[in-house]
Structure 1
């Protein structure tokens, strides 16, 4: 069947998207030139204009060239090609399509959610069926999903290249939104930036960056962490990769080798762990919480958390973010004293003792799972809320897919996007996940994007938090209170491996 299409004029030329049941999709819209050749390790450069009508009917090339593991929680297609600096727009109304013809200042424009995918800054895809904007469009929100450079190309240090090229890509995409989104029915004065996992970390970085000032008005952080790298670690990583490639530490040196070669060299091999089942599980968990390779380079991690306090923010996590590394070996871990197991995964003796004491009566495996979840993601929720001058709303997602038996990393995304019928959802969540839960969580995010309020009490001094479960409602006590113990124990960074699918 022939697709019903619409044509929109952007600042660079006309693009043709297609309609599907009240929602229009415009895919593979370039916001910068292809980052290849002389532009490979440069800041993004605006694209050239084109004549005629550019097809926007298929997703464009992705910086993810390889699926990070054999089976990730989220379906994330890798699409070949050089034009990786592209974005996708999903909208309920465009001038050439059904409905009104909106214009800036006419009161007919829709709020916008700009979504940054996760994947630990080494993987992830904006073409995932789990980030389609159809349900948001149904509720009057325009969605933009952006592609950005990953791994060394996006975040590797070079002495003669711009720092944080992947972050500069996010900013270039946001500038494109400011200049073009009104043509797609979106309000450039009402932009929420959102992301999950590493994407949530990207939102944290953007909240604190002067370069992003004025490009958005609100922030949505789902299972986010400030996945940053200090300068010395970044230089060490570059030296390691350059030695493996036998090239000088320079832009020209890295431009002289293929993308495939850099991808091979940048990977940190997952070590073999020996010992008992418990020792192996704890060793793997400790490795992934200390193995960050790529992320925004900064000398001041605290500034990422302390910045952006004036931005209204919706932030939360799943309850059991990191359970997937421990649950398979739970019986073996349970025979260990909790303090011993916690120290094995990196807790200081003082924190291990207090964390275990405050978790008395809980099996050791669950204590370790909770600690790792707090360490990697959950401790940042009260930190973001605590330094804010603008309102901050928090949530905890704790519905358990029956097969897994825990509420792990990524399982909340189909509920947030209202996409329980998307490809891959049944495999991850089981048959018939609760529609009422999806309606509730999705409505909260829609309310935040549209009205600046998700519909529950801000965090405030009482730690008020919305619990999303079979029965949702505000918690009677702060579910993030225990995670506060880890702020002094592990300030700042966490692992990209955790951001790259803790429960794959």
Structure 2
């Protein structure tokens, strides 16, 4: 955002009371921001492990000019911390959201609800990259939400409702349904969009009966529809968690612990899983669907998630929702290059490493043959990208398209000059939000504004019309490719790298 200027804001009435926002300049436009609005009650004591509660109404006027607290979490460790920022602000009222709008109460504008990523353990909608002013400038009401993370949101404890983080997201969407018209938005034209864990959350919401009717469109950025553990395996993780605290695996006792004690136990479990991804210890679904790194994430609980999201969607869940889904071209370089892992892989090591993905030497040969000038570490990154993100994205798109519903696919291909990361995980975010100014640690100092213009406009077009601007997936797989200089602007590629994608596709 440029020329950011705060001026006296306007008042809007919500179901809990009146809020006053602030006016913000973005370029030549003036938009309205309403920040830190609570959509659920404070997370105090036992409420931290309960379903989200209602907001107590307030008298008079509540200022909504500053962001609210963030959900409890720890900062990213190095080297991730050098690429992604952390904003951590303590406070019990962390179940809050923010709204950016062209003009409150003046029309029936399309609405976009942002669900942030962070491996279900980190993140907040208040990061500068997620500022929604550019969307508001272009005629969209944007809502960014917080939700409970880690143990508070996704640890499966006897005596506590499962999937509390998803319950928070549903509660926030209900707030949007009941309040967004006062901010100028159309509650019947809601698009949810999210990246990484946020995208996996959207796949879960597509499959949940509790989210029926709360959104009309969905944009799934770098996610999949299989990141949900079986309940028995989630309870194994809970046992490991409470064992570090010397407690039984129930909500009794755990709910009274200080947040910092919960965070230490959560960090210990996360490190233990990465160091020893043993299915017998953590459960096969935890290791496989958590991609070997996530210990606390959505759970197939028979309630919020009646089935694995991809299975529920194939059976008809989420019917009527238009879906745009895609990935960055080289997602896993974000995780494997800065850590140094990619640099030490040899050709002799590669078959054993990717054997964990359930593939053999034929798969390695396919990827290697397609990359004659690249290192074994580069080949490994490509294979892990397709295993973790691209194959699951194709499965989700195909599940929607098989019902003769509208589904589109994209790929973000622009290579950042930073650290040989190329088109890595999370790189597209600044382009989607048209907020290139504060992302130099990942994009480099001179990212292409024309690419941000293109990608941001595509997201706006989809939210407004339900059509991003190219053919939907059907008998063929047209993939809109952003940022590949060899293809030029508006490039659509049919079935890119189909031989590689076939290696990891579900049956």
What band does the TM-score fall into relative to the shorter chain? 0.7 to 0.9
Question: Is 2:489 aligned against 1:472?
Answer: yes
Considering only aligned residues, what root-mean-square deviation do their CA atoms show, in Å?
Answer: 2.3
Residue aligning to 1:426: 440
- How many residue pairs are counted as aligned between the two chains? 463
Please report how far the alpha carbon of residue 310 of structure 1 lies from its aligned counterpart in structure 2 after TM superposition. Answer: 3.5
Q: 1:33 to 1:218 in 2, by over 3 A?
A: same
Provide the residue aligned with 1:400 in structure 2: 415
Report if aligned partners of 1:414, 1:420 keep a CA contact under 8 Å in 2: yes
For 1:483, the equivalent position in structure 2 comes to: 501
CA shift, 1:251, in A, is 2.0
**1:269 and 1:43, CA in 2 relative to 1: closer, same or farther beyond 3 A?**
closer
Deviation at 1:266, TM superposition (A): 1.6
User: 1:2: Cα distance to partner?
Assistant: 6.3
Q: Which of 237-246 and 65-74 deviates more? A: 65-74
SS at structure 1 position matched to 2:229: coil
Matches within 5 A, 1:130-141: 130-141=129-140
Q: Unaligned stretches of 5+ in structure 1?
A: 96-101, 103-107, 274-284, 492-504
| Alpha-carbon distance, 1:341 to partner | 4.2
Structure 1 residue 338: Cα displacement? 4.6
The 1-side partners of 2:461 and 2:246 are apart by 53
**Aligned-pair CA distance for 1:79:** 1.0
Confirm whether residue 7 of structure 1 aligns to residue 6 of structure 2.
no
1:413-456 per-residue CA deviation (whole Å, 9 max, x = no partner) reads 010111112x2x12221122111111111111000000111111
How far apart are 1:240 and its partner, in Å? 1.4
Contiguous gaps of at least 5 residues in structure 2: 276-286, 302-306
User: Which residue of structure 2 aligns with residue 495 of structure 1?
Assistant: none
Between 1:161-170 and 1:68-77, the stretch displaced more is: 68-77
- Distance in 2 (CA, whole Å) between partners of 1:110 and 1:140 is 7
For residues 497 and 366 of structure 2, the distance between their equivalents in structure 1, rounded to whole angstroms, comes to: 16
Between 299-308 and 429-438, the greater mean CA deviation after superposition: 299-308
Secondary structure, in 3 states, of the residue corresponding to 1:240?
helix
How many Å apart are 1:245 and its aligned residue? 1.2
The 1:304/1:66 distance shift into structure 2, 3 A limit, reads farther
Shift of 1:385: 1.5
Distance 1:46 1:378 in 2: 38
Alignment of 1:246-325 (within 5 A): 246-267=246-267, 268=269, 270=271, 289-298=291-300, 300-301=307-308, 302-303=310-311, 306=314, 307-325=317-335
Within 5 Å, give how 1:388-467 maps onto structure 2.
388=400, 389=403, 390-405=405-420, 406-421=422-437, 423=438, 425-467=439-481
Provide the C-alpha distance between the structure 2 equivalents of 1:110 and 1:480, rounded to a whole number of angstroms.
38
Q: Contact conserved, 1:309 with 1:387, CA < 8 A, in 2?
A: no
Cα shift at 1:372? 0.5
| Range with bigger deviation, 6-15 or 402-411 | 402-411
Give distance in 2, aligned partners of 1:2 and 1:329: 45
Shift, 1:198, TM fit: 0.2
Q: Please name the residue that 1:28 is paired with.
A: 36
Q: Quick check: 1:75–1:130 contact (8 Å CA) kept in 2?
A: no
CA distances 1:303-334 after superposition (whole Å, capped 9, x unpaired) = 25534353210100000000134444555424
Q: Are 2:229 and 2:290, in contact at CA under 8 Å, matched by a contact in 1?
A: no
1:361/1:53 CA distance change after superposition, 3 Å: closer
Q: Say which SS state the counterpart of residue 345 (structure 2) adopts.
A: helix
Q: Tell me if structure 2 keeps the 8 A contact 1:133–1:417.
A: yes
Would you say the 8 A contact 1:64–1:125 is kept in 2?
no
Give the corresponding residue for 1:276.
Answer: none
Counterpart residue number, 2:20: 16
